[in-house]
Amino acid sequence: MSGFPGSPRAARGALVGVEPLNPLASLVVFQYNPDEMTRTLSAQAAGGGGGGARSEALRLSGAPVEEINLSVEIDATDRLAAGDPLAAALGVHPQLSALEMLLYPRSAHVVANTALAFLGTIELIPPEAPLTLLVWGVRRVVPVRLVRFSVTEQAYDPELNPTRAQVALGLRVLSYNDLSVTDPGYYVFLAHQVSKEVLASIGSASAVATAGTGVTGSLTRGV
């Protein structure tokens, strides 16, 4: 079903996996943008929330811990109706696999570590996942780790390939508290925070303009 011809085309959210030797390790563009997203932020207090000194009550040890939960729909119905050979052969397996691979180490690393263990290597370095970015418009690009993944497959073709699925994603935003200063994600998050600070300043200025002098006068008298 096509939309109104004059309406602007909506940007699509995406999860992008980036590796140093593979700038586009994985790309998952959401077929349909979720209708809602739940974001939970927990403050990182310097005092640890216990009986710390009063002078530490307002200090922060870093950016808040942010968790994002959203559900995405994957549906091959339109592509099957259009005669897409890939959808006919595999359904939505490729899209589901691209999401799931954000939780898997690369098989080449698994094989290499198995060989090293067989040769008697004592310490094996766990493989790193690619840097994963949640892209939600130009004003929200943040590094994340996929921590929860739940799939409800809702329809199948005659070969039992899933043709429609709903995927619930739990993401943990990675800040400069989590990443090394040499990691590109460190600067992606820092840029995200700077953008947020600019938006907060715009919002505060707008609130002052809307409220008039009453609020600012009350604050001044209170101080």
Give the pLDDT confidence of 180-219 residue by residue, as tens digits: 999 999 999 999 999 999 999 998 888 888 776 555 555 5
Q: Does residue 223 form part of some domain?
A: no
The span from the CA of 202 to the CA of 191, in Å, is 17
Q: Please give the structure tokens belonging to residue 98.
A: 């691209």
- pLDDT for the residue numbered 1: 46
Q: Does residue 158 form part of some domain?
A: yes
The pTM assigned to this predicted structure is 0.80
Element (H, E) at 178: none
Q: Does residue 219 form part of some domain?
A: no
Residue 96 has pLDDT above 90, yes or no: yes
Q: Does residue 222 form part of some domain?
A: no
Residue 156 confidence class, pLDDT cut points 50, 70, 90:
very high
The span from the CA of 176 to the CA of 190, in Å, is 7
Q: Does residue 71 form part of some domain?
A: yes
- The per-residue DSSP string of 95-136 comes to HHHHHHGGGSPPHHHHHHHHHHHHTT-S--PPPPPPEEEEE-
Q: Does residue 6 form part of some domain?
A: no
Residue 33 has pLDDT above 80, yes or no: yes
- pLDDT for the residue numbered 130: 80
Torsion sign, CA atoms 203, 209, 215, 216: positive
Residue 220 has pLDDT above 80, yes or no: no
- pLDDT for the residue numbered 21: 64
Q: Does residue 48 form part of some domain?
A: yes
Return the minimum-mean-pLDDT range out of 92-96, 99-103, 108-112, 213-217: 213-217
Residues 141, 133: contact at Cβ < 8 Å? yes
Nearest to 28 by CA among 80, 102, 79: 102
3-state SS, residue 53: coil
Q: How many domains does the chain have?
A: 1
Question: Containing domain of residue 185, as a range?
Answer: 14-211
Q: Does residue 95 form part of some domain?
A: yes
